């Protein structure tokens, strides 16, 4: 069955639709450059409401397993691929990718020239798109506030370790929670809208999670967030990194087409080491805006120089724009989780520098 994805500037790309669609599927179209990790992408709350173009030509060859999901259900609006495997070849696989997508009613297109589509997005920048059985221009839709759709509504407690951490939920990935539990922590997940409750919990440390969309969507909570940061050892991941910077007076901006993939090189200015990271975000911290804050840029993106991590010189606060929990890989940055545990054990008496 014929299917078409059309960008807001009128460009369109034909392929085969997974089913007949009675209404068009609309969302922000982005591309992911990883060869693996498609299930993590589909279930990552940071992709909420987006149409994801997979640049690697064959997607789904190792199937889908419950253990690899980053949330309880797919978060994307749709997906575009050259080929979507109807088979699986991994011992942990529960089903094929095609069956998984169809079971969750997630629309997808195949036999699309994803190379040309990606070039169009890179040229014009991230934009709205529609998927339908025939050409249809996407309607202008405000995508603000997606973070409110994916954050939990109430506190949840996991584990029973001696170290008690609060994980602030902006749309957290399951693998972040898994890494903290594997480190021996008791973890209390707190919705970002309940930041004031953290002082009653009085944890040993706080992790601010990833999440979708514009970090300025939570501007109304920045004062509460800063009080938490000033009180407890804190580590921000992706959206959490951006929120920390906003709370201290820095600014953020939207990239032309974002960073998405498992092959992004980052340089640690302290050690001069370069390592490869997994990333998924549209927004970055504006480098010049850090000059009016106490924060310092410790890590930068090798390709475009964007801020990839900050540190507070006198408080136990640091962050990563990328995903150090390494799902989907690589594992180059897992050391940041270990550094946070070490910082918490020191009771925050020294800064992460």
3-state secondary structure of 151: coil
Q: Decide: residue 181, CB within 10 A, 0-12 exposed, 13-18 middle, 19+ buried.
A: middle
Burial 160-173 (b: 16+ CB within 10 A, else e): ebebbbbbbbbbbb
Question: Mind listing the pLDDT tens digit for each residue in 278-298?
Answer: 999 999 999 999 999 999 999
CATH class of 152-345: alpha beta
Distance, in Å, from the CA atom of 244 to the CA atom of 18, rounded to the nearest integer, reads 41
Fold that domain 2-132 belongs to in CATH? Glucose Oxidase; domain 1 (3.50.30)
Q: What percent of the chain has pLDDT over 70?
A: 97
Average pLDDT over residues 138-166: 90
pTM for this entry: 0.94
Question: Mind listing the pLDDT tens digit for each residue in 212-240?
Answer: 999 999 999 999 999 999 999 999 999 99
Question: Residue 139's pLDDT is what?
Answer: 83
Alpha helix stretches (DSSP H) within the chain: 38-43, 97-103, 114-124, 147-150, 174-182, 198-201, 222-229, 239-247, 335-345
Alpha-carbon dihedral sign for residues 66, 16, 78, 25: negative
DSSP at 138: P
**Fold agreement (2-132, 152-345):** no
The domain ranges of the chain are 2-132, 152-345
Distance, in Å, from the CA atom of 239 to the CA atom of 260, rounded to the nearest integer, reads 14
Average pLDDT over residues 37-53: 96
Q: What percent of the chain has pLDDT over 90?
A: 90
Question: Residue 352's pLDDT is what?
Answer: 47
Do 327 and 339 form a contact (C-beta atoms < 8 A)? no
Which H or E run includes 167? strand 163-169
| Residue 276 pLDDT greater than 80, yes or no | yes
3-state secondary structure of 95: strand
**Residues involved in catalysis:** 238, 323, 325
Question: Residue 353's pLDDT is what?
Answer: 46
């Amino acid at each position: 069955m014929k299917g078409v994805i059309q960008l807001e500037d009128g460009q369109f790309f034909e392929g085969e639709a997974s089913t007949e669609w009675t209404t068009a599927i609309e969302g922000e179209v982005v591309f992911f450059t990883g060869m693996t990790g498609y299930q993590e992408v589909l279930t990552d709350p940071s992709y909420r409401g987006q149409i994801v173009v997979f640049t690697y030509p064959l997607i789904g060859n190792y199937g889908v397993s419950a253990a690899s999901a980053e949330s309880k259900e797919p978060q994307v609006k749709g997906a575009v691929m050259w080929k979507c495997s109807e088979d699986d070849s991994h011992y942990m696989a529960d089903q094929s990718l095609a069956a998984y997508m169809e079971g969750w009613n997630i629309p997808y297109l195949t036999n699309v020239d994803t190379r040309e589509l990606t070039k169009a997005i890179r040229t014009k920048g991230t934009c709205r798109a529609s998927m339908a059985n025939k050409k249809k221009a996407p309607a202008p839709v405000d995508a603000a506030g997606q973070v409110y759709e994916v954050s939990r509504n109430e506190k949840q407690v996991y584990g029973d370790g001696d170290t008690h951490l609060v994980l602030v939920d902006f749309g957290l990935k399951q693998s972040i929670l898994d890494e903290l539990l594997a480190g021996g922590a008791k973890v209390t997940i707190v919705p970002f809208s309940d930041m004031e409750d953290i002082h009653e919990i009085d944890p040993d440390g706080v992790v601010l999670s990833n999440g979708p969309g514009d970090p300025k969507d939570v501007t109304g909570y920045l004062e509460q967030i800063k009080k938490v940061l000033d009180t407890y050892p804190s580590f921000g991941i992706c959206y959490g990194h951006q929120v920390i910077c906003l709370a201290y007076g820095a600014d953020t901006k939207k990239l032309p087409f974002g960073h998405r993939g498992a092959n992004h090189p980052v340089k640690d200015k302290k050690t001069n080491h370069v390592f490869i990271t997994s990333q998924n975000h549209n927004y970055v911290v504006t480098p010049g805006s850090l000059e009016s804050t106490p924060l310092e840029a410790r890590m930068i993106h090798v390709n475009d120089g964007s801020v990839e991590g900050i540190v507070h010189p006198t408080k136990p606060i640091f962050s990563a724009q990328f995903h150090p929990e390494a799902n989907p890989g690589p594992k180059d940055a897992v050391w940041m989780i270990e550094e946070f545990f070490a910082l918490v054990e020191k009771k925050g008496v020294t800064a992460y520098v």
